[in-house]
Structure 1
């Protein structure tokens, strides 16, 4: 997630996902008709974080699934999961792609009343790791207390899952110096000694292994309480969800189809990340993929607020099931 200057990845996402609707006669904000049931609006703005793990969204766009649902989807690329939620709260976007940890933290603080629309990614084995470099004083996960650990931001998945890994092993989290670093700069921070270890998702794990000789010390997505942990998903405000149930259902159907394609065609995912995220073909072939999901499961998602509560990040329990909007039946 980069700051003021628009990156090639950001520009590509904006250009590629400004999807014209096949229901052009309806206009951008007039009701559309799908299977005899009019949508509240065909114009839909989705605010996303700049990430390579948008394969289901790209797949839905390329295959025309949004257009088939009479949705004119406009994509807004924000700098962070907090920013995407802010845009939804302000009415600048309708749906936000965000990190679940940040969303439940915001819900606990009363920032807004959110409703959860669709799943996106999960930390599968080997897709998210804590890494170090040969020159670092960190050689094993037990060395983390007292060291500088690179994360994207406090309360983001990188922070929460690193703390969970340490808690599982009885390590003192209070002695860590948490250093926020944008993911594209994380490998340099390791090499330059600005951090002693870093949380990285793919493709940064694969890229940093080649560029700075990064070495994994723990597989976050494949061990302990963080195994297959829910990472990101789509959400909106309660007010917008209540006013636009049919539009949400149309979005869910399109994302579900894109997710099905991404889950069942590794080659498609590789082509999409090369095309839209500008990842090299070699990295695209070598990287471990996250888990792609569309339909939200309340029991699985409950792991997120429960973990935040256990770590003392939120003060009281949150029932995820009460926040989930109606999910597709198939």
Structure 2
């Protein structure tokens, strides 16, 4: 229990790169001529590894950017922070971005792809002694998700559909990912929607049991999240946005070609034990924003009644100029760690 509390508290600790100047920026061929400070919201999950690759390998510095990394609970929490200017960029799941566009057109722009699911990267987890043995057993139970109206609730709906259930058949609670482990042990929740590294922590340290592999069927190889900025910020500071995109594009390529980077960097921004970091399952890091692939998210949301009518995702996508609209093959996944 002591080790669990140490891990959970460490996962909640904020991590920030040292940031110095907040001077106005001008452009040059190499990026911004003067250092510009930006605040970037991240979560302690593998999706955000490229951000820390770009920090550690000075890709932002090469572009004239000084980054302060700010922990956030999820896209729904980050959205108002982007609107207010408390954050300049943030990890944003596509479900939250699409809902934001429908409620407030042009309120945000997704400027870089971040993460796509792969097998074993998102699961519904229960206690080892839970009486819940099959998906249909969660009727009337309490299910925790990181944020409401997000990729968590959307993919939960897809799982419930397989079981012949709907969201009305369960009680959904919003909860920080690290806290789910404690609440499962306290029995205040019955099921947790988990991603890595929490799946591995719960299973390996506490005998937690998998109930259901989430990213299958209709949501296999699912677009999870991108990096977003506020619509006004994108309009007023296009040079900063382009600099951020170039740095992140280099980092996305790195994690695709050097998959061990994710496992090696996780302890630097989540503080999870190195041995656990080496064993987690990792998804795909697309290099470009592909409208057809991301449109699947909006179309499923429309089908479930989460949006009123169809949302054209091209309205929220702001790809780096000159990048081809390509996406990884659905069969491509990051190689698993060598035992």
Structure 1: how far apart are the matches of 2:189 and 2:275? 27
Give me the whole-angstrom Cα distance separating, in 1, the residues matched to 2:78 and 2:166: 32
8 Å Cα contact 2:123/2:210 also seen in 1: yes
The partner residue of 1:166 within 160, 165, 174 is 160
CA separation of 1:276/1:96 partners in 2, compared to 1, >3 Å: closer, same or farther? closer
Q: Deviations over 1:35-80 (max 9, x none)?
A: 1776798332223344453210111111111111112223333343
In structure 2, stretches of 5+ residues that fail to align are: 1-8, 324-339
Q: How do residues 298-317 of structure 1 correspond to structure 2 at under 5 angstroms? A: 298-317=291-310
Tell me the residue number matched to 2:178: 184
Query: Does the 8 A contact of 1:47 with 1:76 survive in 2?
Result: yes
1:60 aligns with 2:62: no
Q: Which of 261, 264, 269 matches 1:276?
A: 269
Secondary structure of the structure 2 residue equivalent to 1:304? helix
Counterpart Cα distance in 2 of 1:184 and 1:11: 11
**Residue number among 1, 12, 15 corresponding to 1:13 in the alignment:** 15
Answer whether contact 1:41 1:247 (CA < 8 A) is retained. Answer: no
The question of 1:149 aligning with 2:153 is answered: no
Question: Where does residue 118 of structure 1 map in the other structure?
Answer: 112
How far apart are 1:174 and its partner, in Å? 1.6
The verdict on how the C-alpha distance between 1:94 and 1:182 changes in structure 2, with shifts beyond 3 A counting, is closer
Q: Could you state the TM-score of these two structures normalised by the residue count of structure 1?
A: 0.87
- 1:169: how far off? 4.2
Question: Following TM superposition, by how much is the alpha carbon of 1:111 offset from its aligned partner in structure 2, in angstroms?
Answer: 7.6
Q: Are 1:214 and 2:216 matched, yes or no?
A: no
Residue deviations 1:182-239 (CA, integer Å, cap 9, x gap): 2112123223332222211011111101233111122112x11111212221112222
Partner of 1:3: none
Task: Give the Cα–Cα distance (whole angstroms) in 2 for the partners of residues 279 and 193 of structure 1.
Answer: 24
Q: 1:39 to 1:220 in 2, by over 3 A?
A: farther
In 2, Cα distance between equivalents of 1:149 and 1:170: 16
Q: 1-side partners of 2:189 and 2:137: how far apart?
A: 13
Counterpart of 2:228 (choices 223, 235, 247) is 235
The CA distance in 1 between the partners of 2:186 and 2:231, in whole Å, is 45
Equivalent residue number for residue 134 of structure 2: 140
CA 1:229–1:170: 2 relative to 1, 3 Å:
same
Q: Secondary structure at the match of 1:199?
A: strand
Q: Does 1:291 align with 2:254?
A: no
TM-score (norm 2): 0.84
Q: Shift of the alpha carbon at 1:294?
A: 3.9
